[in-house]
Structure 1
Amino acid sequence: MRLSNRNKTSVYSFINSLLIMLLLGGIGAYFLEEYKFNILGWESLLLIIMPLFIILLFYISGRQIFEYDSDGEALHFRNRNIIPFLQRPLSDEFPKYKLLKFEVIDLLIIKRLYITISSKNSGSTILKYEISYLTKKEVNDLKFSLHKVVKTNNEKKS
């Protein structure tokens, strides 16, 4: 099964550009308010704080692009940001038989995927992926596919 939200890259880039323009407009409006009009008073700080808060929410939610491929004998996970220098992209590939378990954590606006794989050195390793920008259907499809792999692995062990 293949799962990717790479086709939404242009939407996320547009939202990112819009938020940056909103912040720059808020900074400009703040300086105009402070030095020219002086109507709002201390509330003029909200012209900078609100866009900054929204930008922080956008980036705290995690990497925007998630790709998953379970075709063949290996699992491929890729997780990257639309701005390449902001965070290092994650890319992992391992055989299906190494998958021990998985867990999806769903907080208010943050969704994370924790994958536990078997490792020669430490016994098991936990890999973390940010899936906040996947739709509910995509998350359910991902869970279904991973559950199928875990179930197959457990049957082979028995």
Structure 2
Amino acid sequence: MRLRNTDKAGYFRFLSILVIIIFIFGIAAFLLEYFIYDYLESIQYLLIAIPVMTVLIFYFRGRQIFEYDSEGEALHFKNSNIVLFLNKSLSDEFPKYKLLAYDIVNIFILKRLYITINSKKGNIILKYDVSYLTKKELNDLKISLSKVIKSNKEQKRADIS
């Protein structure tokens, strides 16, 4: 199964530009209010708090582009950011039989996918941002990963007997 949300890249670029514009206008409005107008008094700090919160929410939601491919004998995960200077992209590929477990953590504004794989050094946990996936895409991802884990367990039972 292949899952990718790269077709939404234009939307994410627009969203990042909008967040930057809100931030710049918020700072400009705050500076004008603080140094020149002084109409809002103590409420003027909302002019800077709201844009800063918007930028922080956008940043902490994580990487926007997520790609997953489970066709063949390997699993391929790729997570990248539209804003190039924020983070490096993550790309991992490993055989299906190394997948031990997965967990999707949903915390208020962000969603993370934790993949546990078996390695020569022990179990390794890989982390991917899936905040920008739709519910359907997230459910498809869960189903696909569950099938791989189920197949791995059946293969282990067959090898033992």
Of 148-157 and 37-46, more deviation after overlay is shown by 37-46
Partner in structure 2 of residue 132 of structure 1: 131
Task: State how far apart, in whole Å, the 2-side matches of 1:88 and 1:128 are.
Answer: 13
Q: Structure 1 residue 123: deviation in Å?
A: 2.2
Partner in structure 2 of residue 107 of structure 1: 107
Task: State how far apart, in whole Å, the 2-side matches of 1:26 and 1:110 are.
Answer: 24
SS in 2 for 1:63: coil
Alignment of 1:34-53 (within 5 A): 34-53=34-53
SS in 2 for 1:77: strand
Partner in structure 2 of residue 67 of structure 1: 67
Name structure 1 gaps, 5 residues minimum: none
Aligned-residue CA RMSD (Å):
1.0
Q: Structure 1 residue 46: deviation in Å?
A: 1.0
Deviation by residue 1:107-135 (Cα, 9 ceiling, x = unmatched): 11111111111111x22111111111111
Alignment of 1:1-150 (within 5 A): 1-120=1-120, 122-150=121-149
Q: Structure 1 residue 34: deviation in Å?
A: 2.2
Paired AA for residue 127 in structure 1: L
Deviation by residue 1:68-105 (Cα, 9 ceiling, x = unmatched): 00011110000011112211211000011111111111
Task: State how far apart, in whole Å, the 2-side matches of 1:102 and 1:23 are.
Answer: 36
Task: State how far apart, in whole Å, the 2-side matches of 1:20 and 1:93 are.
Answer: 34
Task: State how far apart, in whole Å, the 1-side matches of 2:55 and 2:35 are.
Answer: 26
Q: Structure 1 residue 27: deviation in Å?
A: 1.5
SS in 2 for 1:153: helix
TM-score when normalising by structure 2: 0.94
Task: State how far apart, in whole Å, the 1-side matches of 2:119 and 2:36 are.
Answer: 64
Partner in structure 1 of residue 152 of structure 2: 153
Aligned structure 1 segments of 4 or more residues deviating by more than 4 angstroms: none
TM-score when normalising by structure 1: 0.95
Identical pairs, percent: 55
